[in-house]
Amino acid sequence: MGEFDLIAWIRARSFASGRTTLGIGDDCASLRFPANAEIVVTTDMLMDGRHFRLGEATAEQVGYKALAVNLSDIAAMACIPVAALLAVALPSAEAVEIARGLHSGMRSLADRFGVSLIGGDTNAWDGPLVVSVTLLGEATEGPPIRRSGAKPGDAILVTGPLGGSLLGRHLHPEPRINEALALRRLVELHAMIDVSDGLASDLGHVLVESGGLGALLDARSIPVHTDAILLSGQDERPPLDHALTDGEDFELCVVVSMQEATRLLADPPCTLFRVGRVTAKPGLNIERADGRIEPLLIKGFDHLAGGPSF
């Protein structure tokens, strides 16, 4: 099976739906949106040795994750996903098997969220697997929610327990698309981000983009994932540290007014924890269980600082 057979194989498994007017098979795909529709677009690349290890992870899992991380970005804007493109650099030795695996892993998730695969690029080389997905989405229920709308006094919420994703959860994140849409229908979302680099780091982005605000987190109310506790047993870092700084949780960090947070938590549309509040004073602080307030270094996974691969 060569490149063109492979594309034919993928094409036979694709379906043009929704906004797609032309799918796989031509020089470009085409889409038609209603007049004045606001389109969002995002892309994320996964590299063998950095974001996964092929062998430990199957090609199906890599395909799933490559789409899931992009869906998570669309969720963070409270938009709906529409269509995806997949660009791959395949290791020559097993190019076809890997490509098929990637496709089926992506496909299962794409179907669940009504995403059509409208194109891509297929290459093979003597290097490791690199996968890049580009995802188009649409803001259907109001403008995309940005990082920049947090206000002093706002509540900070997260949609699930955090930390320890490295133990395996990072390979099958659940994109919080439906949660984001449910939240947006109920309250005015001031700001939102998906937790890909750790709560401390990603909340830091929200605070900076919102004009240099700060936050006070409440150590007792941060939901610590059982994986964070397991990992803590292995590396002796406190579970709370894992919850605050581990990456790839892919939960949403949501900022709403304190009043709306209270209303939401009385009858939550999804899993939801209030973890702290936004402060006018810059800096990230945490109130420990004994009431002490300490500064929290904004750190998380930084590819340029920590990664050898740049």
* CA 23 to chain CA centroid, nearest Å: 25
CB atoms within 10 A of CB 143: 10
Alpha-carbon distances, residue 268 vs 21, 182, 199, 252 (angstroms): 38, 10, 21, 14
Residues at the interface with Mg ion (CB under 5 A): 121
Residue 12 engages ligand ADP in binding (rule: CB under 6 A): no
Could you tell me the smallest distance in angstroms from the CB atom of residue 127 to ligand ADP? Answer: 17
Could you tell me the smallest distance in angstroms from the CB atom of residue 308 to ligand ADP? Answer: 28
Choose between 80 and 98: whose C-beta lies nearer to Mg ion: 98
Q: Residue 27 touches which of Mg ion, ligand ADP, none (CB < 5 to 8 A by kind)?
A: ligand ADP
Paired tokens of 6: 């492979």
Q: How many residues does the chain have?
A: 310
User: Quick one: which of 122, 257, 279, 285 contacts ligand ADP (CB under 6 A)?
Assistant: 122
Residue 300, Cβ density class (10 Å: 0-12 exposed, 13-18 middle, ≥19 buried): buried
Residue 269 engages ligand ADP in binding (rule: CB under 6 A): no
Distance CA 262, CA 244 (A): 23
Residue 105 engages ligand ADP in binding (rule: CB under 6 A): no
Could you tell me the smallest distance in angstroms from the CB atom of residue 55 to ligand ADP? Answer: 21
Could you tell me the smallest distance in angstroms from the CB atom of residue 62 to ligand ADP? Answer: 13
Choose between 42 and 210: whose C-beta lies nearer to ligand ADP: 42
Residue 121 engages ligand ADP in binding (rule: CB under 6 A): yes
**Helix 95-112 to helix 59-76 angle, to the nearest 10 degrees?**
40
String of contacts with ligand ADP for each residue 142-181, x by CB under 6 A: ----------------------------------------
Alpha-carbon distances, residue 263 vs 151, 224, 276 (angstroms): 18, 23, 16
Closest-CB residue for ligand ADP? 119
Residue 62 engages ligand ADP in binding (rule: CB under 6 A): no
HSE of 277, CA atoms in CB hemisphere, 13 A: 12
Could you tell me the smallest distance in angstroms from the CB atom of residue 117 to Mg ion? Answer: 15
Question: Among residues 239, 245, 241, 236, which one has the least CA distance to residue 225?
Answer: 239
